[in-house]
């Protein structure tokens, strides 16, 4: 519950100084573990002030999970309604946020309605954003169904949409009223999405040697190993929570979670938010940042090679196609302008340590991109060299 204090120092001349402070503490339950979806009614029950619920999902997840979720909610003492939005990053848009706001109005939603985001990072981000602005903020819970959302997007209260060609330009900090993470929901997730989610796990793993070692030793087969994925989800959540506990509004420590994201957002914007999955762009971003760090002698070649190999073990490419080099840098300069001229780029120093640097030049970016390209070409050359008499 927010607590407020205010002080007014009246001055006889009429120039009054007003001091107002609002203290707010958000606490919410996070239920996790294989099979935990069955505990959804308990979670909803805990948010006792709500008398109706709107479950929002996308049109990929709806046929897989929506009826299961609404069946679980038959014990909920209030009306349950649903809204389905199109799947994909393009739904993190003003148009879809507007469609959701209209949907809430036509469903007669009031302040005591709970929104339930059932889906990947896109659904969590756009539902959280809508919850933050509707009636100046209504509660929502996240039931993340993609790996990316389970270990990252559903937790931390960052909500938003892409706007004017820029990633997450419009948004708000609005913490969920609860989160339920069931790794069993990942069984239907395509392999490409698993790898995309793992990019964010590598990002936190670079800050946590134990998680990094787990990821280095991961074996990705055609069938998902739910036990090892559940362990990755749990460890990554704990790592993120440690940073959030110290810095809920991204003033300091939490900024390390932006590792690889300047380049990732630039790549996504340069390709119209459609060619790359978010995690695929993050993987290339981490690779470029790491290579720049090695070139600045901030990290060793051994650390760089470990990070690049770990990304590849997770099924991620680390090279930026030549056709995107110039456009991506264009977008980086736009991001720099938005950040008041400072890039605040996170660079790995070792597994367990990163630093934040203000600036980066086009030259060092271009050199890093070329280094990664040459590295990718090397095994191919060896194969070609090996052919013949």
Ligand X SMILES: NC(=O)c1ccc[n+]([C@@H]2O[C@H](COP(=O)([O-])OP(=O)(O)OC[C@H]3O[C@@H](n4cnc5c(N)ncnc54)[C@H](O)[C@@H]3O)[C@@H](O)[C@H]2O)c1
Q: How many residues bind ligand X (CB under 6 A)?
A: 30
Nearer to ligand X by C-beta: 132 or 303? 132
Instruction: State in angstroms the smallest separation of the CB of 159 from ligand X.
Output: 6
C-beta separation of 30 from 178 below 8 A: yes
Q: Does 122 bind ligand X (CB under 6 A)?
A: yes
Q: Which is nearer to ligand X, 60 or 371 (CB)?
A: 60
The set of residues, in sequence order, having a beta carbon less than 8 Å from that of 374 and lying 6+ positions away, is: none
Stretch 243-282: interaction string toward ligand X, x if CB under 6 A: ----------------------------------xx----
**Which of the stretches 142-150, 210-218, 246-254, 375-383 binds ligand X when contact is defined by CB under 6 A?**
142-150
Helix, strand, coil percentages for the chain (3-state, nearest 5): 50, 20, 30
Q: What is the Cα–Cα distance from 318 to 279, expressed in whole angstroms?
A: 11
* Residues 300 to 319 in contact with ligand X, rule: CB under 6 A: none
Q: Which residue is nearest to ligand X (CB)?
A: 121
- In whole angstroms, the minimum distance from the beta carbon of 95 to ligand X comes to 15
Q: How far is the CB of 197 from ligand X (least distance, A)?
A: 6
Cβ-in-10-Å burial (0-12, 13-18, 19+) of 94 comes to: middle
Strands of the sheet containing 30-32, edge to edge, are 30-32, 178-181, 140-144, 113-119, 52-58, 79-85
Q: Which residues contact 74 (CB under 8 A, 6 or more apart)?
A: none
Half-sphere exposure (CA, 13 Å, Cβ side) for 375? Answer: 19
**Residue among 52 and 168 whose Cβ is closer to ligand X:** 168
Of 95 and 366, which has the nearer Cβ to ligand X? 95
**Residues in 199-218 at the binding interface with ligand X, rule: CB under 6 A:** 200
Please name the residue ranges forming H helices in the chain. 40-46, 67-72, 94-106, 121-133, 147-148, 191-205, 209-216, 226-246, 261-270, 278-295, 301-313, 325-338, 362-386
CA-CA-CA-CA dihedral for 360, 364, 369, 370, to nearest 10: 170
CB of 378 to ligand X, least distance (A): 30
Q: For the window 146-175, what string marks contact with ligand X as x by the rule CB under 6 A?
A: x-xx--xx--x-x-----------------
Instruction: Name residues contacting ligand X, limited to 60-99 (CB under 6 A).
Output: 60-61, 64, 87-89, 92
Site residues (vs ligand X, CB under 6 A): 58, 60-61, 64, 87-89, 92, 119-123, 125, 145-146, 148-149, 152-153, 156, 158, 185, 188-189, 193, 196, 200, 277-278
């Amino acid at each position: 519950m927010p607590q407020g204090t205010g002080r007014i120092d009246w001055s006889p001349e009429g120039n009054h100084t007003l001091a107002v402070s609002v203290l707010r503490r958000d606490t919410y339950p996070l239920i996790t573990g294989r099979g935990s979806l069955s505990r959804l009614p308990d979670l909803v029950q805990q948010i006792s002030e709500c008398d109706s619920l709107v479950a929002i999902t996308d049109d990929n997840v709806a046929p897989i999970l929506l009826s299961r979720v609404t069946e679980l909610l038959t014990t909920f003492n209030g009306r349950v309604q649903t809204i389905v939005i199109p799947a994909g990053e393009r739904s993190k848009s003003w148009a879809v946020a507007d469609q959701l706001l209209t949907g809430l109005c036509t469903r007669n939603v009031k302040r005591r309605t709970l929104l339930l985001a059932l889906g990947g990072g896109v659904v969590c981000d756009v539902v959280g954003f809508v919850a933050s602005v509707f009636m100046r903020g209504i509660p929502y819970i996240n039931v993340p169904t993609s790996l990316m959302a389970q270990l990252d997007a559903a937790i931390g209260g960052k909500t938003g949409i892409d706007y004017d060609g820029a990633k997450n330009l419009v948004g708000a900090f609005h913490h969920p009223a609860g989160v339920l993470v069931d790794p069993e929901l990942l069984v239907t997730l395509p392999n490409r999405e698993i790898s995309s989610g793992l990019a964010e796990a590598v990002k936190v793993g670079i800050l946590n040697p134990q998680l990094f070692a787990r990821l280095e030793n991961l074996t990705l087969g055609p069938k998902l190993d739910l036990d090892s994925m559940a362990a990755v989800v749990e460890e990554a959540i704990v790592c993120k929570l440690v940073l959030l506990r110290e810095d809920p509004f991204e003033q300091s420590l939490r900024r390390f979670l932006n590792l690889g994201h300047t380049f990732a957002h630039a790549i996504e914007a340069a390709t119209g938010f459609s060619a790359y999955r978010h995690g695929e762009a993050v993987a290339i971003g981490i690779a470029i940042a790491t290579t720049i760090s090695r070139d600045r002698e901030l990290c060793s070649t051994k650390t760089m090679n470990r990070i690049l190999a770990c990304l590849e073990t997770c099924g991620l490419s680390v090279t930026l196609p030549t056709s995107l080099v110039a456009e991506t840098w264009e977008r980086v300069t736009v991001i720099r302008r938005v950040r008041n001229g400072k890039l605040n780029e996170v660079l790995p120093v070792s597994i367990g340590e990163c630093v934040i640097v203000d600036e980066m030049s086009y030259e060092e970016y271009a050199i890093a991109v070329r280094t990664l390209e040459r590295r990718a070409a090397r095994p191919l050359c060896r194969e070609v060299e090996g052919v013949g008499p």
